[in-house]
Amino acid sequence: MYNSENYTFMADPIRHHASVRGDKAALIFEGRETTYGQLDQRSSQIANGLIKAGVKPGERIAILAKNIDLFFEIYYGATKAGAVLVPINYRLAAPEVAFVLNDAGARMLFVADEYYDLVAGVEDDLNSVAQIIALHGGHDSWRSHADWRDDHDSTDPKREGSAVETALQPYSSGTTGSPKGVEMTHDNFISFVPHALADWGGWEVDDVSLVAMPLYHVGGCVWGFVGLYVGATNILLPEVDPPVVLKAIETYRITQVFFVPAVIQFLLQTPGAAETDVSSVRSVLYGASPITQNVLKRALEMFDCGFAQLYGLTETSGAVTYLAFEDHDGSAKMKSCGKPMRASKVRVVDENDLDCPPGQVGEIIMAGSQIMKGYWNLPEETAKAIRNGCFYSGDAGYFDEDGYLYIHDRVKDMIVSGGENIYPAEIESALSGLEGIADLAVIGVPDDKWGEAVKAVVVCAPDADLSEDQIIAYARTQIAGYKIPRSVDFIDELPRNPSGKILKRELRKPYWQGQERQVN
């Protein structure tokens, strides 16, 4: 099925498949096919180009694009050169993109044509970027990706390094108001994937995987890595478009898919969904946010195949628990997120770090080889998150008597909307610049479509006369669209404890009355 015994680095599976099935399609994107042999060759050209450009091992390069097949040749090329790829969330506003590039110290930036103007607008503010490559060409000042890549030799540099070196640095929104770079190593992935494949019911080299979730997100890129690790063919879509997703499943006879629950709900609502031939699908994996039982029941009926839920975080390189096919049996277990995967150690602890008995809510912590190296250039944040070899998730939950994990609430204030992690501190920091706001807090409230929606609760200055529309319009100039509050409530005073901390639980309470859990 697949051979991992000699894999040490992320590029090793690509090297292996190029040698044994070089003519097989690794990626198909908008009708363009890339074989494993071509992916290996082109990633070596990228590696040699980075080395020639003076990018040293450990230095960062970045990509700003919707899903595109070039992502993978750039990623594997970076790992062959010892560089670290920083995938940038394409939904970020221009100041946020500049922050990520400067924080990472990115030496090169690969950018898609629809973001040329955005990057040009902040180019003078970039402190470390020495070269910008235009993925689609056609730019007066930046070299085209194809021309730049093809200027370099396709011989694999075969740089020697260490499996504990950083291999990818996605950015997770930060509780302090700024995104945090999550350092993920070769070993995080290479040691995790074989166990994941065994837990997930097994893959074959003749599987066809749909990669539709965004590659800047751990759910998207890790799903892509899994398919390429196995030697499967991966159908890559630029973004989630439900009719296009259904057509791809039918056209390419997709066998493996991963979606966030919001996407599953959209698919069910798509005209013609019931008539689409989805009989090829063997496995539907879902995660990144809770799913309603009604949506899950309807999805099981539509796809009529194995369903499995995954729970994990960017900091854990993906899933740490797995609700198996056989657990989707209509019982109460379907409200859980399953049992710990074989490579993961998951505990629920109290405030003294003692294991909670079944049924008692505590903080969910994890240990294992897939735990991140740390937060880039944030040693204090890393020390808070990783203690005694365990990652403290900030999620609250409990185990039942049978060892199934249930998510109860979040210790932190994070909002999960459509599978995206949104931190209130970021939004509060952005809105605080609007004149007339005296005090504010951002919370998540129930939303039938997205799970949660962002709400701003605002205290206006005495002489201010702000409206909901004004506040939302201002937010659009400061932050990414998915972080913008969907509604604004005005109150006279925010609830605070004696030390002045806002009591967000009290703020949330009226909106969550009647809800079974404080996550949706």
Q: Residue 412: its pLDDT value, please?
A: 67
- Of all residues in the chain, the percent with pLDDT exceeding 90 is 74
Q: Residue 469: its pLDDT value, please?
A: 96
Residue 5 has pLDDT above 80, yes or no: no
* Eight-class DSSP state of 355: B
Q: What would the two tokens of residue 136 be?
A: 């689609």
Residue ranges of E strands in 448-502: 451-460, 487-490
Q: Residue 2: its pLDDT value, please?
A: 46
How does pLDDT run across 209-240, given as a tens digit for each residue? 999 999 999 889 999 999 999 999 999 999 99
Q: Residue 174: its pLDDT value, please?
A: 52
Tell me which residue of 179, 183, 176, 157 sits closest to 56, measured CA to CA. Answer: 157
* 8 A C-beta contact, residue 61 and residue 93: no
Residue 416 has pLDDT above 90, yes or no: no
How does pLDDT run across 170-205, given as a tens digit for each residue? 998 654 567 899 999 999 999 888 878 877 767 999
* 8 A C-beta contact, residue 245 and residue 267: yes
- CA distances, 264 to each of 10, 236, 323 (Å): 30, 17, 17
For helices 261-269 and 293-303, the axis angle rounded to 10 degrees is 60
For residues 400-419, average pLDDT: 84
Strand partners, 509: none
Residue 303 has pLDDT above 60, yes or no: yes
Tell me the residue type at 510. P
Q: Residue 206: its pLDDT value, please?
A: 95
Q: Which domains are delineated in the chain?
A: 415-512 (3.30.300.30)
Give the list of residues 6+ apart from residue 475 with CB closer than 8 angstroms, or none: 427, 430, 431, 456, 483, 484, 485
How does pLDDT run across 437-492, given as a tens digit for each residue? 988 999 999 998 888 999 999 999 888 899 999 999 999 999 999 999 999 999 99
* Higher pLDDT, residue 198 or 385: 385
Q: Residue 417: its pLDDT value, please?
A: 86
For residues 110-134, average pLDDT: 98
Query: Considering the chain, what is the average pLDDT of its residues?
Result: 92
State the Cα–Cα distance between residues 149 and 14, nearest whole angstrom.
18
Residue 1 has pLDDT above 50, yes or no: no
Q: Residue 175: its pLDDT value, please?
A: 47
Q: Residue 34: its pLDDT value, please?
A: 98
Q: Residue 4: its pLDDT value, please?
A: 52
State the Cα–Cα distance between residues 207 and 252, nearest whole angstrom.
11
Q: Is the pTM of this model over 0.75?
A: yes
